[in-house]
Amino acid sequence: MFRISLSKVPLSRPVRPSIQNAQRRTVTTVRCDVPRRADIPSPRGPGKISTPQDFLKAIGRSSETKISIDSWDAFWRTSGWDMKNAGLSIQDRRYILWCMEKFRQNKPIEGFAHEERPKKKIRGRGPAVQFGKRIRSRRDR
C-alpha cells in the first residue's frame, strides 16, 4: 500500500487566483427568468378555425369538453401548468400542446390530428403471434 502525506507535497500554484487573471475574464449573463414565447398564430381560413373551441374540436379526442378558454390570445398563452391546474390528464395536456405547436408551424390539422391509440389486448412480454398463430403456454393441461 502507498501512503501519501499532504504535508510534504509542495503546492505547485497559489490557492487564490491572481487579480490579473480575474480582470482578464469576461462574464456574460443570460436572462433566464423570462420564458420565450413563440408567436401567436392568427386564426386560419374563412370560418374554419376562429376560436379555441373550434381548434380543440378539430384536433379530436373530445378536447373541447376538457378545457374551456374563451379568447384566442389566452388560449395560445396557456401553458402546461395552467392545463394541469384545470384538471387535464398528462396525455391530454401533451396531445393538446403538441397539436398547438404543429399548428404554430403552419401544418394542416388533418395531417397531424389523430385518435388515441387503442388499449393493448395482449399483456406480457414477447410476441403474442408468431407465424400467424397465437402463442399459448406450452405446459400440459
Q: Which pLDDT tens digit goes with each residue over 121-137?
A: 766 566 666 666 666 66
Q: What is the mean pLDDT of residues 16-40?
A: 60
Residue 63 confidence (pLDDT): 92
The CA–CA distances, whole Å, from 11 to 5, 18, 19, 100 equal: 13, 15, 19, 59
Q: How sure is the predictor about 118, in pLDDT bands with cuts at 50, 70 and 90? A: confident
**What percent of the chain stands above pLDDT 70?**
55
Specify the higher pLDDT residue, 114 or 11.
Answer: 114
Q: In the predicted model, is pLDDT for residue 139 greater than 70?
A: no
Q: Which three cell numbers stand for residue 2?
A: 502507498
Residue with cell 373550434: 54
Q: In the predicted model, is pLDDT for residue 99 greater than 70?
A: yes
Q: In the predicted model, is pLDDT for residue 40 greater than 60?
A: yes
Q: In the predicted model, is pLDDT for residue 65 greater than 70?
A: yes
Q: How sure is the predictor about 8, in pLDDT bands with cuts at 50, 70 and 90? A: low
